[in-house]
Structure 1
Amino acid sequence: MKLQNVRNRFLRCLALACVTGICVYAATVNVWAQSQVIAYVFPQHQLIQPGDIAARKLTRINYAFANLQGGKIINGFAEDDRNIPALVALKKENPSLKVLVSVGGWLWSGNFSDMALTKQSRELFIDSVVAFIDKYQLDGLDIDWEYPGMVGAGNHFRPEDKQNYTQLLKELRKRFNHEEKTLHHSLLLSVAAGASTEFLDHTEMGEVQKYLDSVNLMAYDYYEPDSDTTTGHHAPLYTNPSDPKKISADQSVREYEKAGVPPAKIVLGVPFYGHVWGQVQDVNHGLYQPGKPVTNAFASYGNITATMLNHGYERYWDAAASAPYLYSAGQKIFVSYEDPESLRLKSSYVLGHQLGGIMFWDYSGDPSGALLDTIDQGLHVNTSSQGGMR
């Protein structure tokens, strides 16, 4: 393992090009020796228990979420002081595992714009990040700003967010490069990125990617019951010609590449959950039909398999989109979700397009481990000796 770490470090150094004193990553070099498998772990008020996480099937864990208050990163939940060390301790099972903290998220992105506004406010945040990483012995930071220059969940935003987002990440990378000399190990920096043209319009991803180890592309929620009155696949791999919105993960990947993000830095996000619409008529088995939100319109994969699949809901496969869906003619309910068949195809897509790997939200969505097993096997990451690791 020590030799492997040295090799990875050497590869990383080869990929560095120093520009005006700031080391940035060369776009043409994949700095990882294997595809990334990144899990967002979101326990909230629950304590992580031994055996909850299959550590050897992951290359990276993003602990969600730290909050942002008073311009500083702070704990998001009372259990963080126990949960974060529990994740770091998983390195005993998998010494190559990296553990990062993710700050922000959909509901906690309201203070990013103010924090990133000036050099002084960014320095305050970065100082707090370094202290946070040191306290918990973490391997880096994931920024989940949803979204620069956009309202998100009712957040304060400003036009300057576009340039300030770039400056924040540039200054974080510079500070991380400095801290690495003392720590004698690398500090990773990533972002959770929106899979939309609008996100790209409000950011400078071609510049931003220079300072990042990965761009975790949230290629899901393309259709949501709360905002879409028509049903659709919320995480299709390809665009179905019949799709009114003409969306897909493939389309988003191509847009990110066109914006200047190297394929090796794009980590394809997949959901361990589905979306549910009601009052959907039995036309095309409910696909691309008018629908309305229902109670519990968000459903984990575990809940879908336990209470819907083969329980009055029939599974259908959209070959054009490479996506499954469920429909109950009796209840007039449509469900868009991800399953092992679609994830096998996405794993092949990641390898074929030489992307950086796969990330998923979130770990708790599939207690059976079927989805993670599919990713693990599909990307050929540590597949030879992982039995019984749950």
Structure 2
Amino acid sequence: MHHRDSSERSSRGLKSLGYFGNWDIYAADYFVTDIPAENLTHLVYAFANVNATTGNVFLSDTWADLQYPYSGDNTSAPGNNVYGNIKQLYLLKKKNRTLKTLLSIGGWSYSPNFPPMLASDEYRQNFVDSAIELVADLGFDGIDIDYEYVTGQDQAEQMVDLLRRLRSGLDNLANSIKASSPFLISYCSPAGKTHYSQLDFAGMTPYLDYYNFMAVDYMGPSFSNYSGFLANLYPDATNLRATDFNTNSGILDYIWNHIPPKMILIENPLYGRSFNGTDGMGDKFSNAGTLGSLGQAGILYYKDLPLPGFDATVVNVPRIGGSYSYDAQNRYLVSHDTPEIARVKADYVRLMGLGGTAWYELSMDRNDTLSLISNTVSHLGGTQALEKTLNNLNYPTSTYTNLRSGFPDE
């Protein structure tokens, strides 16, 4: 079994994990160099894909990942060199020795490629071998699995087998290259009972370092009957139509399933969802409306709120750990978190003895005093309350000349 004393689960301090999308360098104009590393312990790079006909894991955008020239990159230097976001992630680890990076495989769009991979013994091994090769080549500290969602007993067993092989392979890699810390495996796990009841928690937990409990998208204009809260901690007994789901009931079930609370991170949204043509929270609505960040109707990044030209009143409901803003004139409601609710959720992490928080995703937060991440970290005790374990900088088997040598002059 994988209960190692040196592993993350026994380390002191809270985790603060942020997702960075490799697509962020385009429309969002957000780069690895913009990441607030001081407020993070883990940085998850999203998303690698899976080849459904071989099981191999592969990078989804090699230009952004390996080639995009950042300022100061000498792309004509001799050797087989890596640039792009991957180089910058390594440099960020050099500057912040307790920041660990993980490669996330899957996500909503690529999840349909998982079932054929899981169903084949050979493909599962290909998945593991190729994932480990990416860690060794690109300088990651671990792998994040984001398959939405495991369905049925066969897949549940196949996922346990996949994690068992991945754990064994990553431990072997760490030993062979004398890594500073063990390599990590995290699992993005659902908040809804219909989905998490499919998982073999007892089988999975020994191979994982933590679960990212996806406390997001509880209600939204494309899948809910009424306007509602996106990421509330508790149900609202006075307005049940507004809380189809809640975080607390899922967390209690996870703990009931013998998952140590310290192994659970609550993933919070750095975006809101809009309900247009509604008289308020827990009410009928017409649609999502036409507005949205970067042209995504119905999805509004936290940093883009409040919307210009709207007269929205922010409503915090601390007793349920939820918040929203509402413009009565335009009958337009956005469900999103606020600094006050971020602090309420930080208190919940402490109350339940959880491992920390995760954020989806970094480009959507504000970078001022209203930042949800920095409000959470400071409420939990500041950066000194965060976990401090060394990342690994030693990747002697990397195919990339400059990464293998550790970017000596940078």
Instruction: Please state which band the TM-score falls in when normalised by the shorter chain.
Output: 0.7 to 0.9
Moved more, 296-305 or 39-48: 39-48
Moved more, 178-187 or 225-234: 178-187
Asked if the contact 2:218/2:245 (under 8 Å) is kept, the reply is yes
Task: After superposition, give the CA deviation of every residue in 1:208-240 in whole Å (9 maximum; x if it has no partner).
Answer: 111100100001111011011201111012221
Separation in 1, partners of 2:225, 2:244: 16
> CA 1:319/1:373 → structure 2, altered by over 3 Å: closer, same or farther?
closer
**Secondary structure class of the residue paired with 2:359:** strand
Question: Any gaps of 5 or more consecutive residues in structure 2?
Answer: 67-83, 291-296, 386-410
Match of 1:56 among 38, 58, 64: 38
Separation in 2, partners of 1:332, 1:159: 45
> Are residues 1:72 and 2:70 paired?
no
> CA 1:268/1:50 → structure 2, altered by over 3 Å: closer, same or farther?
closer
Separation in 2, partners of 1:334, 1:217: 26
Q: Which residue number in structure 2 is paired with residue 105 of structure 1?
A: 107
Cα deviation, residue 375, structure 1: 1.8
> CA 1:332/1:379 → structure 2, altered by over 3 Å: closer, same or farther?
same
Asked if the contact 2:22/2:65 (under 8 Å) is kept, the reply is no
Cα deviation, residue 159, structure 1: 5.1
Match of 1:228 among 193, 200, 224: 224
If the length of structure 2 is used for normalisation, what is the TM-score?
Answer: 0.81
> Are residues 1:343 and 2:342 paired?
yes
Q: Which residue number in structure 2 is paired with residue 238 of structure 1?
A: 234
Map of 1:278-289 to 2, 5 A cutoff? Answer: 278-281=276-279, 286-289=280-283
Separation in 2, partners of 1:306, 1:87: 32
- Could you list the runs of 4 or more consecutive aligned residues of structure 1 that deviate by over 6 angstroms after TM superposition? none
Asked if the contact 2:56/2:123 (under 8 Å) is kept, the reply is no
The one-letter code of the counterpart of 1:253 is I
Asked if the contact 2:115/2:155 (under 8 Å) is kept, the reply is yes
Map of 1:224-303 to 2, 5 A cutoff? Answer: 224-241=220-237, 242-244=239-241, 245-281=243-279, 286-291=280-285, 292-295=287-290, 296-303=297-304
Match of 1:160 among 140, 154, 158: 154
The one-letter code of the counterpart of 1:227 is F
The one-letter code of the counterpart of 1:305 is P
Separation in 2, partners of 1:383, 1:34: 8
Q: Which residue number in structure 2 is paired with residue 40 of structure 1?
A: 19
Separation in 1, partners of 2:4, 2:246: 28
Question: Any gaps of 5 or more consecutive residues in structure 1?
Answer: 1-17, 150-157, 385-390
Q: Which residue number in structure 2 is paired with residue 154 of structure 1?
A: none
Separation in 1, partners of 2:325, 2:259: 34
Task: After superposition, give the CA deviation of every residue in 1:74-109 in whole Å (9 maximum; x if it has no partner).
Answer: 111131111122122112221011001001000111
The one-letter code of the counterpart of 2:128 is I
Instruction: Compare relative contact order (CA 8 Å, sep 6+) and give the higher one, 1 or 2.
Output: 2
Separation in 1, partners of 2:320, 2:32: 38
Asked if the contact 2:366/2:372 (under 8 Å) is kept, the reply is no
Map of 1:338-377 to 2, 5 A cutoff? Answer: 338-369=337-368, 370-377=371-378
Q: Which residue number in structure 1 is paired with residue 407 of structure 2?
A: none
Q: Which residue number in structure 2 is paired with residue 129 of structure 1?
A: 131
Q: Which residue number in structure 1 is paired with residue 121 of structure 2?
A: 119
Moved more, 58-67 or 108-117: 108-117
Aligned residue pairs total 348
Separation in 1, partners of 2:108, 2:135: 22
Asked if the contact 1:45/1:79 (under 8 Å) is kept, the reply is no
Task: After superposition, give the CA deviation of every residue in 1:100-155 in whole Å (9 maximum; x if it has no partner).
Answer: 10010001111111111132211111110111111101101000001111xxxxxx
If the length of structure 1 is used for normalisation, what is the TM-score?
Answer: 0.84
The one-letter code of the counterpart of 1:272 is L
> Are residues 1:191 and 2:170 paired?
no
RMSD across aligned positions (CA): 2.0
> CA 1:306/1:230 → structure 2, altered by over 3 Å: closer, same or farther?
closer
Asked if the contact 1:35/1:381 (under 8 Å) is kept, the reply is no
The structure carrying a bigger strand percent of its residues is 1
Cα deviation, residue 360, structure 1: 0.5
Moved more, 222-231 or 255-264: 255-264
Separation in 2, partners of 1:287, 1:348: 24
Cα deviation, residue 315, structure 1: 1.1
